């Protein structure tokens, strides 16, 4: 078959990948306004999964979502209400199943409760998908309109203002509090209060554990004060300065509102996972395995166990953690690993393309940063949360995408480069707030570069250049580095001088 397109790559469990596939299936048509045909999650290695669909079907679904939820201001207003309503219902069902789990004595006590919870989870992730698709559509429309209306350069400045959230989510407020605690000092009581309110911040998926007291302390130590020098106008100021039609105003307002909604998706998601953890912990205890193992069971496998069947063997769950192929087959979802996954992937016709090492990669400017001129540092490739500890002060963080778990590492980085995302992505917004140079949407950076490459990030032009290949393998690193600095010393900022010092220490 031909026409498969990779949409995104993520470190997701089987439970969450199945939810995602069900979002695109006919069972979610009532929420999305359309559905996909063939779709699959394909293993990329080291626990990362890539979502593939037919390109034409993906475009048709995005078109359907826009018609269904944002054909006009009335539909979009209803969408915003539905988003919050479904999000709150998901949190309510998460609390209910946690309470059921606390009182359960045998697996069968939880079967019907899990079925109801799973449906609320699917419904929430479906409206989450709708928000994601609409954000992509309307941010692109707003950027294009502003470029036509105000010119390329001025249009980019106005777009950054329009795509800046008018209010902050609880996740953003939590990171603001961490920065204030670092600046003004903190006590163990402050850390305890923060932990009591925000332990859910790390719960992106069922296998993620809530923050501990020590995690909070480390987050405070890594926090960075906002220092953006990119000037943004209020949304109303942008609107008042333009002569726009009603239709054009709707595009700008929708794009602006969707920036907050996009971030709010993550609040509902993480809180829901956190609240439902007692259920997964109870199942793991009954099955004699770990919570992280249960995260790699399918819905049918989990229901089968609750209804008296055998649990999934830990060895199978461990194999899935390295990577799995998940797709719909005969009305259910098949999850394969190893040779079986490779054989089925070939039969499906999904052939991920390889990316060769590159010297120059281009993307979209997410943030120009607060310095002057390009920024240089050692590349650290981050594909999973486990890779974040590799990022040291002055490194270039190169990731598939970023989310709130990345913030401490982002604060340590001298620049950020991502495969995915645009100017409304998490990486772009956080980078603008903290004055960090950022290039997003490169598509290939995590594959084109390797750990240890010395990169030059030009956040004015959206270009990332490899200056030196993996310096630890390059015997001429010190000489080349000194030569590069001598050539560039006329434009190096204070921050870049510090980055060069870091490079010298790391050689």
- 388-414, pLDDT tens digit by residue? 999 999 999 999 999 988 998 999 999
Instruction: Say which residue the tokens 């048509």 belong to.
Output: 29
Q: Which two tokens stand for residue 124?
A: 């929430």
Output the CA–CA distances (angstroms, integers) from residue 79 to 54, 64, 70, 406, in the order listed.
Answer: 26, 14, 8, 29
- Report the pLDDT averaged over residues 498-504: 47
Q: Which two tokens stand for residue 318?
A: 């461990």
- 271-287, pLDDT tens digit by residue? 999 999 999 999 999 99
Residue 469 banded pLDDT, cuts 50, 70, 90:
confident
pLDDT at 494 over 70: no
Nearest to 464 by CA among 386, 366, 393, 394: 366
pLDDT at 498 over 70: no
- Report the pLDDT averaged over residues 52-67: 97
Given a contact cutoff of 8 angstroms between Cβ atoms, the answer to whether 206 and 295 are in contact is yes
pLDDT at 486 over 80: no
Strands across the sheet with 4-10, in order? Answer: 4-10, 48-54, 39-45, 325-329, 332-336
What number of CA atoms fall less than 13 Å from residue 472's CA on the CB side? 8
Residue 223 banded pLDDT, cuts 50, 70, 90:
confident
- 339-384, pLDDT tens digit by residue? 999 999 999 999 877 666 678 999 999 999 987 789 999 999 999 9
- 247-259, pLDDT tens digit by residue? 999 999 999 999 9
Residue 482 banded pLDDT, cuts 50, 70, 90:
very low
Rounded Cα gap, residues 277 and 99, in angstroms: 11
pTM listed for this prediction: 0.87
Average pLDDT over the chain, rounded to an integer = 90
């Amino acid at each position: 078959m031909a026409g498969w397109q990779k949409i995104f790559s993520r470190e997701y469990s089987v439970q969450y990948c199945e939810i995602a596939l069900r979002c695109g299936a006919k069972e979610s048509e009532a929420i999305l306004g359309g559905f996909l045909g063939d779709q699959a999650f394909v293993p990329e290695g080291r626990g990362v999964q890539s979502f593939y669909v037919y390109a034409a079907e993906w475009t048709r679904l995005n078109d359907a979502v826009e018609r269904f939820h944002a054909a006009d201001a009335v539909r979009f207003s209803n969408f915003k209400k539905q988003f919050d309503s479904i999000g709150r219902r998901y949190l309510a069902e998460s609390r209910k199943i946690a309470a059921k789990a606390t009182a359960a004595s045998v697996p069968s006590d939880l079967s019907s409760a899990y079925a109801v919870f799973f449906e609320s989870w699917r419904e929430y992730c479906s409206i989450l998908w709708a928000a994601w698709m609409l954000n992509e559509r309307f941010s692109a429309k707003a950027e294009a309109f502003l470029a036509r209306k105000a010119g390329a350069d001025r249009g980019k400045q106005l777009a950054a203002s329009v795509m800046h959230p008018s209010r902050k989510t609880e996740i953003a407020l939590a990171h603001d509090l961490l920065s204030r605690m670092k600046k003004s000092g903190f006590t163990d009581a402050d850390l305890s209060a923060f932990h009591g309110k925000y332990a859910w911040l790390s719960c992106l998926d069922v296998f993620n554990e809530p923050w501990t007291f020590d995690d909070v302390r480390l987050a405070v130590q890594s926090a960075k004060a906002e220092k953006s020098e990119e000037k943004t106008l209020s949304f109303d100021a942008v609107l008042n300065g333009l002569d726009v039609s009603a239709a054009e105003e709707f595009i700008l307002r929708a794009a602006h509102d969707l920036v907050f909604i996009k971030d709010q998706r993550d609040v509902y998601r993480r809180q829901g996972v956190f609240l439902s953890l007692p259920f997964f912990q109870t199942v793991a205890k009954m099955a004699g395995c770990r919570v992280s193992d249960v995260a790699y069971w399918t819905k049918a496998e989990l229901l089968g166990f609750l209804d008296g069947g055998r649990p999934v063997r830990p060895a199978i769950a461990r194999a899935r953690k390295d990577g799995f192929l998940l797709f719909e087959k005969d009305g259910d979802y098949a999850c394969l690993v190893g040779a079986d996954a490779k054989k089925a992937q070939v039969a499906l016709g999904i052939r991920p393309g390889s990316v060769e090492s590159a010297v120059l990669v281009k993307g979209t400017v997410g943030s120009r940063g607060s310095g002057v001129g390009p920024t240089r540092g050692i590349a650290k490739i981050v594909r999973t949360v486990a890779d974040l500890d590799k990022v040291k002060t002055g490194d270039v963080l190169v990731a598939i995408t970023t989310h709130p778990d990345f913030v401490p590492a982002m604060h340590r980085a001298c620049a950020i480069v991502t495969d995915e995302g645009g100017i409304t992505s998490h990486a772009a917004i956080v980078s603008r707030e903290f004055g960090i140079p950022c290039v997003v949407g490169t598509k290939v950076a995590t594959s084109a570069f390797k750990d240890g490459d010395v990169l030059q990030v030009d956040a004015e032009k959206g270009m990332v250049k490899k200056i030196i290949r993996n310096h630890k393998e390059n015997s001429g690193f010190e000489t080349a580095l000194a030569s590069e600095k001598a050539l560039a010393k006329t434009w190096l900022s204070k921050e870049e001088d510090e980055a060069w010092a870091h490079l010298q220490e790391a050689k």
